[in-house]
Amino acid sequence: MEKVLLKNIENPNSHEINEYEKIGGYRSIRKALEMQPKKIIEEVKKSGLKGRGGAGFPTGMKWAFASADPKFPKYLLCNADEGEPGTFKDRPILEKNPHLLIEGMVISGYALGAQYGYIYLRGEYPDAKDILNRAIKQAYNKNYLGDNILGRGIKFHLVVHQGAGAYICGEETALIESLEGKRGQPRIKPPFPVNVGAWAMPTIVNNVETLSNIPFIIEVGSDAYSKIGSPECPGPKIYCISGHVERPGVYELPMGTRLRDLIYTHAGGIKGGRKLKAVIPGGISTPVLPPDAIDCAMDFVAMSKAGSMLGSGAVIVMDESVCMVKVCYRALKFFEHESCGKCTPCRDGTGWLRKILGRIEQGEGVDGDIELLLDVSNNILGKTFCPLGDGAASVVISMVKHFRSEFEEHIKNAKCKIQN
Ligand code: SF4
């Protein structure tokens, strides 16, 4: 597949506007401005594009809800708060192909009737901030942003807003709270941001990768776009692979590429020829999979049938030297630390899970600890405001499901068989 999202990024000047224009950049804006906003939304709907931030909601449908709301102003927010451990797929777009994102946002803003856009950027990406700000300035100078874009009377302004490093601000309503200058905690839904979002106005929150697909959809049309990838989840997809593989990194491939091919063909297989033990397929909050589950397509539908989630498409590969109890403990330390504290099952539950896992890992586990882990997890699952609680619980449940004997051995032998 020819690269769409990571096209030209080997070029050291790929972030410069002239280089982007040379490879056909900003042509889609001209084409989009010839179209009626409704027609653009229709094309995005027909393309089958699903949100690349993790939830996989159909982008065109989300846009249609916001566009039908008569309230103005409307806002377009780009979620660039890439804080999920194992996830670094948006970074190359932000740092090497920022004009693709800007072009996608201008077209999206026009389609939605939004005149103001924000890129909510992960605080830990200082280089991306400078690169984006420079790219935005270049786009203003060339009249792709401003009060009268390309002399067509269309207005769209864009700014970068840097987060302060809280993982929960990647959740769309917490992102909105933070953008408004408040403490970044999720809001209860409904109402959904498409109707009551930033400053109580209709707001679309889309991920970097989602918005970066828009220029290509406009360029080739929804029919051609939907032929890429899997039928239920079309389009290109950026996967990032980390852990025990020969070639960790970022790969743009058709959506639905098999997990096995990703690990063994693209990432070169398991490092040092060792045996695969486990894969977390979509960032730390997605359920772990055993080696016999890797013959499935990496898309939203197939991964859910396989018992996990595509999430952000961040594949974490672990070989036979890894202690799964330790992985689970580390994950829960993260969730406990990042829990915003708004709801009791998550705030207290992640702490309890971390404590139980800590004592099992230290060889101080007692009979009944595994049942207790499952009991606490089931009392978090489905009972929290936002998906952080569910993510923490399902990591524990899946680890126990696939690697129960390791937890049992830790408790029985009072130590780790693998790492001792
Ligand atoms: S699930 Fe956790 S992170 Fe989400 S709102 Fe509740 S306490 Fe906050």
pLDDT tens per residue, range 269-288: 999 999 999 999 999 999 99
Q: Convert 253-263 to b/e letters by CB count within 10 Å (16 or more is b).
A: bbbbbbbbebb
| Residue pair 317/245 in contact by the 8 Å Cβ criterion | yes
The reply to whether ligand 1 has any atom less than 6 angstroms from the CB of 343 is: yes
CA of 354 to the centre of ligand 1 (A): 16
* Alpha helix ranges (H) inside 26-143: 27-33, 37-47, 59-68, 91-96, 98-112, 126-141
pLDDT (average), residues 5-9 = 94
Going by pLDDT thresholds of 50, 70 and 90, the confidence category of residue 1 is: confident
> Cβ atoms within 10 A of the Cβ of 347, count?
15
pLDDT tens per residue, range 168-224: 999 999 999 999 999 999 999 999 999 999 999 999 999 999 999 999 999 999 999
CA separation for the pair 42, 86 (Å, rounded): 34
pLDDT for 415 equals: 80
Among protein residues, the one with the nearest Cα to ligand 1's atom 8 is 340
The reply to whether ligand 1 has any atom less than 6 angstroms from the CB of 27 is: no
Q: Cβ neighbours of residue 227 under 8 Å, at least 6 residues apart? A: 234
Q: Which atom of ligand 1 is nearest to the CA of 390?
A: 1
CA separation for the pair 347, 185 (Å, rounded): 12
Does pLDDT of 417 surpass 80?
no
The reply to whether ligand 1 has any atom less than 6 angstroms from the CB of 381 is: no
Going by pLDDT thresholds of 50, 70 and 90, the confidence category of residue 346 is: very high
The reply to whether ligand 1 has any atom less than 6 angstroms from the CB of 383 is: no
| Residue pair 360/411 in contact by the 8 Å Cβ criterion | yes
CA of 171 to the centre of ligand 1 (A): 10
pLDDT for 98 equals: 98
CA separation for the pair 3, 167 (Å, rounded): 30
Helices 98-112 and 208-220, packing angle to 10 deg: 80
pLDDT (average), residues 252-271 = 96
CA separation for the pair 99, 105 (Å, rounded): 10
The reply to whether ligand 1 has any atom less than 6 angstroms from the CB of 259 is: no
DSSP state of 328: H
Does pLDDT of 362 surpass 80?
yes
Do β-strands 229-230 and 276-280 pair in parallel, antiparallel, or remain unpaired? unpaired
Q: Which of 402, 413, 400 is nearest to 362 (CA)?
A: 413
Going by pLDDT thresholds of 50, 70 and 90, the confidence category of residue 158 is: very high
Tokens found for residue 274: 């060792």
CA separation for the pair 216, 206 (Å, rounded): 16
The reply to whether ligand 1 has any atom less than 6 angstroms from the CB of 216 is: no
Does pLDDT of 156 surpass 80?
yes
pLDDT for 420 equals: 67
Q: Which of 215, 238, 226, 184 is nearest to 386 (CA)?
A: 184
CA of 379 to the centre of ligand 1 (A): 14
pLDDT for 17 equals: 97
Q: Cβ neighbours of residue 394 under 8 Å, at least 6 residues apart? A: 285, 286, 287, 377, 381
Top-confidence residue, 418 or 395: 395
pLDDT > 70 fraction of the chain, expressed in percent and rounded? 100
The reply to whether ligand 1 has any atom less than 6 angstroms from the CB of 187 is: no
The continuous run of DSSP H or E covering 356 comes out as helix 344-361
Name the residue with tokens 């051995």: 409
- Select from 336, 346, 354 the residue to mutate for testing ligand 1; criterion: most ligand atoms less than 8 Å from CB: 346
Q: Cα angle at 57 between 288 and 344, to 5 degrees?
A: 60
CA of 121 to the centre of ligand 1 (A): 21
The reply to whether ligand 1 has any atom less than 6 angstroms from the CB of 347 is: yes
Q: Which atom of ligand 1 is nearest to the CA of 174?
A: 5
The continuous run of DSSP H or E covering 370 comes out as helix 369-378
The reply to whether ligand 1 has any atom less than 6 angstroms from the CB of 168 is: yes
Q: Which atom of ligand 1 is nearest to the CA of 171?
A: 4
The reply to whether ligand 1 has any atom less than 6 angstroms from the CB of 105 is: no
The reply to whether ligand 1 has any atom less than 6 angstroms from the CB of 186 is: yes
- Select from 81, 172, 185 the residue to mutate for testing ligand 1; criterion: most ligand atoms less than 8 Å from CB: 185
Q: Which atom of ligand 1 is nearest to the CA of 186?
A: 5
CA of 392 to the centre of ligand 1 (A): 10
Q: Which atom of ligand 1 is nearest to the CA of 347?
A: 7
> Cβ atoms within 10 A of the Cβ of 335, count?
25
Query: Mean pLDDT of all residues in the chain?
Result: 95
CA separation for the pair 40, 110 (Å, rounded): 9
Q: Cβ neighbours of residue 143 under 8 Å, at least 6 residues apart? A: 149, 150, 151
Cis peptide before 290 (omega within 30 of 0): no
CA separation for the pair 157, 115 (Å, rounded): 6
CA of 386 to the centre of ligand 1 (A): 5
pLDDT for 419 equals: 72
pTM, rounded to two decimals = 0.95
Q: What is the CA radius of gyration of the chain?
A: 22
Q: Which of 37, 41, 46 is nearest to 64 (CA)?
A: 41
Does pLDDT of 21 surpass 70?
yes
Bridge partners for 58 per DSSP: 50
Do β-strands 276-280 and 314-319 pair in parallel, antiparallel, or remain unpaired? antiparallel
Tally the residues of the chain: 420
CA separation for the pair 10, 8 (Å, rounded): 5
DSSP state of 78: E
Among protein residues, the one with the nearest Cα to ligand 1's atom 4 is 386
Going by pLDDT thresholds of 50, 70 and 90, the confidence category of residue 414 is: confident
